[in-house]
A = this chain, B = another copy of it.
Amino acid sequence: MRILILGGDGYLGWPCALHLSAAGHEVGVLDNLARRAWDRELGYESLVPIAALPDRIDAWTRVSGRRMDVFVGDLRDAGFVHASLRAFRPDTVVHFGEQRSAPYSMIDREHAVFTQVNNVVGTLNVVFAIAELDPRIHLIKLGTMGEYGTPNIDIEEGWLTVSHKGRTDRVLYPKRAGSMYHLSKVHDSHNVEFACRTWNLRATDLNQGVVYGHWTEESGCDPVLATRFDYDQVFGTVLNRFAVQAAIGYPLTVYGAGGQTRGVINLIDAVDCIRIAAENPPEAGEFRVFNQFTEQKSVGQIAQSISRVYPGRCRIESVEDPRVEAEHHYYQAAHTRLVDLGLVPNLMDDEFLSSLLSVVERYRHRVRAEVIPPTVSWRPNANVAAPRRVVSTR
């Protein structure tokens, strides 16, 4: 199968490209290298050193004997998108090519508008290119569990059957997103569902939980193949951040009460989910939604887990929650459809946590503690001042 990975230079996109290539697919990588630019903007750096994209590609060819096509450009450039798809002729397009940080989108108005325009326009350009070139191309679009928010009813996989006043319909699951970034994904979902319904496209929307971990079988083959490891307040996800905090003796900073519960997924499983979705495409016209996570954990539970494998070395500390969100809430989300298709989950057990901590220990000399505390606030007045505070961490 020919698979084009949009955002194939990122934290998830790169190991996904490797995984699909190793599974025997013909892989192309498309990226505008924006993620590296945002690090430079904010003064951050991946804990684990990452190679330049051409070096990554060369190393993979050396290790595996397999090549990858590369397209460097921006999804907001419709001509570039159209030309890349026409040149690569994919069967499947995997779309990671978005600004994916909630705090980044909440820095200020400019970052909010950038995030929504970047994500919505990029996705529209991809959808139009598919509709014009070949509507049979399967679009696998990364969404987020955060689109649903934390409703007081069970979260289903994208669709909900509603009975109301004696009548019944199957509707898109109602959304209540928690940031300008999460909203951009809600907008994408509506746009892509429209394209399936109106133009008979086929799409899989993967509402992904919080991804953690660093190692995959393929990216672990050679240091040049390593993917990025973020622990800063803007791009770092909770477990990876706690691991770094534990390693340097920094308190594990739980936001507020720590009862915020989310679906989480190991990077190994996240990239395998993409393979499973690609190898099992939906019907023409189908807007298929999978909830892509393997376990539900609260922030407090994750802190406890790290504390358990690092006995006596971790202090858990509550800091004021910079986000506007419920700190205690009901949370029960379905996630059976990927397992039905063959996903075998790698859970957040102590063995895994120890291996994650050993990665962090290896690079602890690179940790810069000043990028850990949250300065981007969801509150509007703080919001206006936030960008300067972020920039001052350079």
Which of chain B's residues have a CB closer than 8 A to the CB of A193? 176
A52 close to B (CB within 8 Å): no
| In the complex, per-residue mask of A105-128: 1 if CB is within 8 Å of any chain B CB, else 0 | 000011011001100110011001
Which of chain B's residues have a CB closer than 8 A to the CB of A384? 132
A169 close to B (CB within 8 Å): yes
Contact of A153 among B168, B179, B183, B324 (CB under 8 A): B168
Are A160 and B174 touching (Cβ within 8 A)?
Answer: yes
Contact of A190 among B132, B165, B187 (CB under 8 A): B187
Once A132-B384, A162-B160, A187-B187 are accepted as A-B contacts, the answer to whether A125 and B109 lie under 8 Å apart by CB is yes
Query: Which residue on chain B has the smallest CB distance to residue A194?
Result: B183
Q: In the complex, how many residues of chain A place their beta carbon closer than 8 angstroms to a beta carbon of chain B? A: 54
Query: How many copies, total?
Result: 2
Interface residues of A in 151-165 (CB under 8 A from B): 151-154, 160, 162-165
Once A198-B324, A378-B198 are accepted as A-B contacts, the answer to whether A128 and B112 lie under 8 Å apart by CB is yes
Which of chain B's residues have a CB closer than 8 A to the CB of A78? 109-110, 113
A389 close to B (CB within 8 Å): no
Give the shortest distance, in Å, between A107 (CB) and chain B (any CB): 12
A22 close to B (CB within 8 Å): no
Are A168 and B152 touching (Cβ within 8 A)?
Answer: yes
Q: How far is the CA of A163 from the CA of B191 in the complex (A)?
A: 27
A135 close to B (CB within 8 Å): yes
